[in-house]
Amino acid sequence: MPLEVGIVGLPNVGKSTIFNALTAAGALAANYPFATIEPNVGVVAVPDDRLKAINQFIKTEKIVPASLRVVDIAGIVRGASTGEGLGNKFLSHIREVDAVLHVVRCFAGGDVIHVEGAVDPIRDIETLDTELMLADLETAGSSLDKAERLARGGEKEAAARAGVLRRAQAHLNNGRPVRQIEFTTDEKKVVRGLGLITAKKVLYVANVDEGDLHGQGPLVGQVRQRAQQEGGAVVAVCGKLEAELAELGEADRQEMLQSMGLKEPALATLTREAYKLLGLHSFFTAGPKEIRAWEVPVGATAPQAAGVIHTDFERGFIRAEIYTIEDLKHYKTEAAIKAAGKLRAEGKSYIIKDGDVAHFLFNV
């Protein structure tokens, strides 16, 4: 199952506007069916200039960027943890995603009245966090009882689970999300199986107005400070502007961006940051049929990367032949890279690096 990032937020903060703009922009980004899969699930192209750089030297029929699955999760309201509003549906959807984009309204005025009556991004963050922590406390409580019973019966895995749950419960009772706990590598594996929502990584998306496109205003400043305390990050996005840009053709979009002093839509930055949040990076394959970016978890080995292309490639992996885009820029052709001794043969233990260009040799 591909990794997914969920967009969450209170009602009327611009969450669905940003989701719709992301999926519309994705559809324009490449010759690939980027668009809404279900009413609330979209696949978005990850913008990557390195694809164009490869294409300068290797001619191809099509270019396929890496992609990202994005889920628009129903707006949360105060009391969601006890089933208020679409509470239970919200909680089940957010449990299924791998990381969270938390949209926070960072502009006053406008036609849409804030659900709480006034704009206060920190209050909004705390409202959502509180609901998620209450839901996690319930999950942790019931899971802990079961884990302790099994641990008393001598089950080692249950004892490890109980230890992690006790720490999580104490943290949540102090009003702090589970993602702020320093876990060991083994404990992280346990956490992944517990279904705790606040263990997921979060990227804050500050929805700004056209007067603060770079997110330098005081409201975004508050969100940045909060993210810094949590070791997280913030991307400023003007949902209204991005929605307009997503509807334009390439030439008109570039003209509009230029007139506003912008190099690219803010959604391009948001997509790349979401990709990183999921712990993904890209390697490339290049040939006359297609130049393609493939998404793999950071730390994947060469056989695992080959398996992303086709399971047979992983099963029958012999070796990978690797070069860099810098090599291609310098030597101009793959034949010249090979002649210069820059085409590296890598075995099963090789860890794929972001930006590697790879050919896989396999035998099935």
Same domain, 335 and 271: no
The per-residue pLDDT for 61 is 96
Same domain, 20 and 107: yes
CA distance 315 to 364: 7
Report the side by side order of strands in the sheet with 62-64.
62-64, 290-297, 280-286, 357-362, 317-323, 344-346
Same domain, 209 and 330: no
Structural contact between residues 116 and 124, judged by C-beta atoms closer than 8 angstroms: yes
Residue pLDDT, tens place only, 60-92: 999 999 999 999 987 766 665 555 554 566 678
Is pLDDT of 225 > 70? yes
Interacting residues of 25 by C-beta distance below 8 A, sequence separation 6+: 44, 242, 245, 246, 265, 267
Residue pLDDT, tens place only, 131-178: 899 989 999 998 999 999 998 888 888 998 999 999 999 999 999 999
Number of domains into which the chain is organized = 2
Same domain, 122 and 178: yes
Residue 42 lies in a domain: yes
Residue 114 lies in a domain: yes
Same domain, 198 and 317: no
Residue pLDDT, tens place only, 17-65: 898 888 875 544 443 344 444 558 888 999 999 999 999 999 999 999 9
Same domain, 215 and 324: no
Same domain, 315 and 254: no
Structure-block tokens of residue 69: 């699955």
In which domain, by residue range, is 355 found? 299-362
CATH number of the domain bearing residue 227: 3.40.50.300
Percentage of the chain lying above the pLDDT 90 cut: 66
Q: Provide the terminal-to-terminal Cα distance of the chain, rounded to the nearest Å.
A: 24
Which of 277, 309, 328 is the last residue in one of the domains?
Answer: 277
Residue 288 lies in a domain: no
Same domain, 226 and 315: no
Rg (CA), the chain: 23
Which of 210, 244, 277 is the last residue in one of the domains?
Answer: 277
User: Is the four-CA dihedral 305, 311, 317, 323 of positive or negative sign?
Assistant: negative
Same domain, 218 and 303: no
Same domain, 54 and 130: yes
CA distance 160 to 213: 47
